[in-house]
Amino acid sequence: MLNAADSRLEQHLASLNRSAQLAPDCVAAPIADNAQFQSDDEAIGRRLEVQNNRLQSRKEIIEAFIREIPPPARHDIVDQLPAIDNVADTEHEE
């Protein structure tokens, strides 16, 4: 009877030992995942910075073009509103 109890105790201790050996692996995997996430985050940050620089350059080019385009002369501007035919509002007639 003492042997059976000793055997169960040894099995329990062996199981605890296996669990204790497994615990660091359970923590190591998320640590590795976090390191990968951090690396990905840094790469995305660099890509965003490059993209932002490209957009800023394009904005500056567009603004330079706009500054070089003279506005039309006042006499060249034609008001189109008087030339538009007035259509009767038949939907709201009573």
Residue 2 predicted with pLDDT over 70 = no
The stretch 18-24 carries a mean pLDDT of: 88
- Could you tell me the CA-to-CA distances from 60 to 34, 49, 77 in Å, in that order? 39, 16, 28
The stretch 76-88 carries a mean pLDDT of: 86
Q: Quick one: pLDDT at residue 59?
A: 97
The stretch 49-74 carries a mean pLDDT of: 94
DSSP state of 91: T
Q: Quote the tokens at residue 2.
A: 């003492």
At residue 23, what is the residue type?
A
Torsion sign across C-alpha atoms 82, 84, 88, 90: negative
Residue 4 predicted with pLDDT over 80 = no
Domain boundaries, given as residue ranges, for the chain: 27-68
Share of the chain above pLDDT 90, in %: 46
Q: Which residue has the higher pLDDT, 93 or 52?
A: 52
Nearest Cα residue to 19 out of 11, 30, 7: 11
